[in-house]
Chain A
Amino acid sequence: MKRIHLTINGLAVTGKAGQTILQVAQQHGIIIPTLCNFPGLAPAASCRICIVEVAGYPRPVPACATAAEQGMEICTDSERIRKARRMIVELLLAERNHTCPVCVMDGACELQTLAKLLGIDHVRYGFISPQMTLDISQARFGIDHNRCILCRRCVRVCDEVEGAHTWDVSGRGATSRIISDLAEPWGDSGTCTDCGKCVQSCPTGALFEKGPKKAGKGTPCLERIVEWRGRKNK
């Protein structure tokens, strides 16, 4: 395998030809925050959190889907990049309903962690808070579209790893929504194998396991969500 040499944040590093910028960075312990990227899945390059600057390129590029090349000079943490990442996370937080204190994933959520990492203490945009639905028809799991950030990890893991392709996206733009089969209740799905990979890969509390949290902190949260949703809908 051909070795390539490049610099990341001024540090000279080596990688293998064919690796992405993200892979090279991770190998050398350089942290590039990611969200839609998931090890083992094809990169979607859709969340735009992992953008980095490459000298000579007109725009930042997503590290998860850009091949590292010989001689690249990469900057992963400039003021410009930090600002863009902060805005993107704020946009995600304002887009649907991310109310951490009543979320099953509070404390284990990647979006929340990212927001903390980027020092987001307020959101400058107006909260859109659309009234999305909650589907708990499946025996073991549930999906709360209010928490979904449309990263499509569940769609990819179901298609690429499990091979079931139960999930896909319906609609487009801001009205995009994750659907199972013909936009039917998850519990009625004929293709779902009940494997739970989608739940494992979800970065937020959109896909969750029913019942009490097995490990760590937290309380039975499903009841709390349903109760909270019921109150809100009144």
Chain B
Amino acid sequence: MEELLARWQRKPDALIEILHAAQQCFGWLDRPLLGMIAQELDLPPSLVFGVASFYHAFRLKPRGHQTCTVCTGTSCHLQGGSRLLHELEQHLGIRSGTTTEDGSLTLEQVRCLGACGMAPLVRIEHEGGGTSFHAGMNRDQVVKLLQNAIRGTHSKGVPLSPVAIYGDIHKRIVLENCTGTAPAAGLYCALERAVLQMTPEEVCRQITESGLRGRGGAGYPTGRKWEMVRTARGKRKFVVANGDEGDPGAFMDRTLMENDPDRVLEGMAIAGYAVGAASGFVYVRGEYPLAAQRLRDAISRAEKSRRLGRNLFGTGFSFNVRVRIGAGAFVCGEETALMASIMGRRGQPVIRPPYPAQKGLWGNSTLINNVETFGSIAAIISRGSEQLRVLGTTDSYGTKIFSLSGDVARVGVIEVPLGTTVRELLDLAGGVTGGGFKAAQTGGASGGCIPAEHMDLPIDYESLRDIGTIMGSGGLVVLNDTRCMVDVARFFMRFCSDESCGKCTPCRAGTSQAVRILDRICGGCGSEGDLQQLEELCLLMQETSLCGLGLAAPTPVLSTLRWYRHEYLAHIRQGSCPAGVCSREAMG
């Protein structure tokens, strides 16, 4: 422990890293340990406990000898993951998140491991380190696996499959190096070009001219953001890459960080040069240990070859990057919450303005972009801003990575020019499985549906907003016509309710009430008054929540109400689910 604290130099900001490391050492975080950490870091004990209990990755109770984690991301939910969890709860007689009395088994759920092709996915961790993944599970198979594990025969499971990447290679910008072969030559060429041949103003201008917009979801013009940070006062500035891909059914960022971490780092370094920042953080979701490892490896390789670090290319420009690991909180994808998390606090959003560009990490001007946005930078610098403008639509230039999952033949990641239609995407992905096309859910828990009648709509930021959904980070879950949209809406509302940070009333209390109403409707005992109340609640959240999570939490419900109101009404009036999903699961 002493060694561990020394490694982080007793910095209170490194609280989350220290908690991660302490948990790895001791298995779980007991009170005396937390008390000691608080004392050593000179932090109030309540703050340390508040942080440890905020993040789901930290365990405040000892775990069993085996830990069985069921993935309940969107794809896994559709393929029966939530039902599987419910059945296991009944079989084992414990609730998710608790341990059996004899201490042999802990049951947990996770919201998407980013391996949607393997749904429903189960992860079994054994005491002493072994972890195995098991795809396409049902109750009996899991029970058998667990029994074997208790007897000491561990099943190897299947490897967490690398994501299939497809799409026209010539139209790729971000994923152009992800071809399965060795990294292409010319790594960090764009950085060299920017640092040696361009001024920071020119770099910013080139990004602005390219028309690049934030790939994290909101679509804010990247160039404008860079310009804001560049012109902001202050000596210290920071660059942060948001790799906290929390949306269920999204795995683009995971794919990018695992396959081409250098691309992200290069983009960050260019940004650092452009805005005048000397250090950066990559915030990686805690569920992606491989991505974090590959980023760390890439950083040390780049430092060795003097592409990152001090005095780059002999110009005096220095830039170093550190990896920060998330700890299981969706809300940390929100930029102010993410910064709080980097600074070792509870991931609670704060009101904007001031924006991070004005007052971010430790009060300094901070540039936050999604990892995919950083992934686009190198191409713009080395190939010029026009390159991006050739692709895409009038307001949305360039390409976007989508992760396709759900009822689709080829689950995987695809990079296509903006303006591609859902129909074209589906053709590339081998079509819908298990029935006809019903809807494509975009933007995860913050997004809505593209119904069948809009299959030929070119996907860009504006067109999606017009039909009541968002681009989001690029998760696209295909739903066939055997899916119940009310159940899908309830799934997302539950997700938001679980992930709400609890700070503002509309989000904390509003999502809990909305889940109760949706439970009633799905259980066949809803009324038309419930529907009206649900709509009112959704509008309230949309208008008055504090951060992006709360503001967008009702989108899945509002979107399904817009296109599939008849399904809600069927649940209420006939007391049954037209798709036959809810009656099976009832209140499950």
Contact = CB atoms under 8 A, between A and B. Distances in A.
A2 to B, nearest CB: 18
Nearest to A86: B540
Q: Chain B interface: which size bin?
A: 35 or more
B49 A183 contact: yes
Contact of A191 (B44, B54, B513, B537): B44
Contacts of B509: 91-92, 94-95, 174
Contacts of A88: 505-506, 540, 544
Contact of A171 (B47, B54, B504, B510): B54
B536 A87 contact: yes
B34 A169 contact: no
A128 interface: yes
Interface in B506-536: 506, 508-513, 516, 533, 536
A45 B512 contact: no
B168 interface: no
B23 to A, nearest CB: 16
A165 interface: yes
Q: Is the interface of A mostly helix, strand, loop or mixed?
A: loop
A156 interface: no
B372 to A, nearest CB: 26
A121 to B, nearest CB: 17
Contact of B45 (A46, A172, A182): A182
A44 B503 contact: yes
Contact of B346 (A124, A169, A182): A169
B546 interface: yes
Contacts of B297: none
A184 B544 CA distance: 34
A59 B502 contact: no
Contact of A46 (B346, B353, B504): B504
A166 B504 contact: no
B53 interface: yes
A174 B502 contact: yes
Q: Is the interface of B mostly helix, strand, loop or mixed?
A: helix
B50 A179 contact: yes
Looking at B35, B50, B497, B499, the one whose CB has the most chain A CB atoms below 10 A away is B50
Contacts of A44: 503
Contact of A84 (B38, B502, B504, B544): B544
A60 interface: yes
B512 A95 contact: yes
Interface string B326-361: 000101000000000000001000110100000000
A62 B498 CA distance: 25
A164 B43 CA distance: 11
A179 B46 contact: yes
A23 B169 CA distance: 58
A174 B544 contact: no
A165 B47 contact: yes
B503 A182 contact: no
Contacts of B50: 168-170, 179
Interface in A53-80: 59-60, 62, 65-67
B31 interface: yes
Nearest to A130: B512
Nearest to A167: B46
A202 interface: no
Given A126-B516, A173-B508, A51 B46 contact: no
B48 interface: yes
B54 A182 contact: no
A91 B505 contact: yes
B500 interface: yes
Contact of A62 (B47, B351, B499, B540): B351
Given A44-B503, A48-B544, A87-B536, A170 B508 contact: no
Interface string B37-68: 01000001111111001100000000000000
B543 A168 contact: no
Interface string A125-146: 1101000000000000000000
A172 B341 CA distance: 14
Interface string B134-154: 000000000000000000000
A124 B331 CA distance: 29
B270 interface: no
B45 A124 contact: no
Given A87-B536, A174-B502, 20 more contacts: A48-B504, A48-B544, A59-B544, A88-B506, A125-B513, A126-B513, A150-B502, A168-B46, A168-B49, A168-B50, A170-B50, A172-B331, A172-B501, A173-B498, A174-B497, A176-B508, A179-B49, A181-B46, A183-B53, A184-B31
Closest 8 CB pairs of A and B: A165-B44, A168-B46, A176-B502, A168-B50, A91-B509, A170-B53, A173-B500, A45-B351
8 contacts: A47-B504, A48-B505, A48-B545, A84-B540, A91-B505, A167-B46, A176-B502, A184-B31
